[in-house]
Amino acid sequence: MTNVAVFAAVFVTLYVAHSVGDHWVQTSEQAIEKGSPGWRGRLADARHVLGLTVTKLVALTLVVTVLDVPVTAVGLAAGLTVDAVSHWWADRRTTLFRLAKLCRKTEFYNLGTAAHEHAPVTVKGTVAAHLGTGAYALDQSFHHAFLLVAALLIAAL
């Protein structure tokens, strides 16, 4: 199996496991608390990232075993560590907001929230329900970028 095929199998697996871990495995408490200041938020974020990383490891183990994908323990450790650390960092929320501000993406970050100047409103003028925010889109795209890095590390090491 070529490195390209290993990369493809690993990336697809990480992508799917990321979605499951970020949306199904993460608890409501973790989702609410992970951006809180201090140790309360840090620990909630760590619990979320632990569940997410276990989800990715289980999915990778299944795919690697069933498809006989040649990966090394070093590659797996490096890829999953980079992914976990980057995920924890972004999910502290203030960090990702600062990055968005630095990249001049604050308006997009606030899209879909009451903080945005063009926030959707109901006929009565209250904030309308919506299917996502700019913050969520930037969060997920940040995670996807590090899934790419993780898959490259796993395939190459």
Give domain limits for the chain.
3-156
DSSP string covering 34-86, please?
A: TTSSHHHHHHHHHHHHHHHHHHHHHHHHHHHHHHT----HHHHHHHHHHHHHH
Q: What is the pLDDT of residue 129?
A: 66
Model pTM score: 0.89
**Average pLDDT across the chain, whole number:** 93
Higher pLDDT among residues 120 and 103, named by residue: 103
- Which range is least confidently modeled, 82-91, 122-131, 140-149? 122-131
Mean pLDDT, range 10-21, rounded to an integer: 98
Whether 21 has a pLDDT exceeding 90, the answer reads yes
Whether 84 has a pLDDT exceeding 90, the answer reads yes
Whether 127 has a pLDDT exceeding 80, the answer reads no
Whether 141 has a pLDDT exceeding 70, the answer reads yes
Mean pLDDT, range 37-46, rounded to an integer: 97
Q: What is the pLDDT of residue 121?
A: 73
Q: What is the pLDDT of residue 93?
A: 92
At how many degrees (to 10) do helices 73-91 and 134-156 cross?
Answer: 160
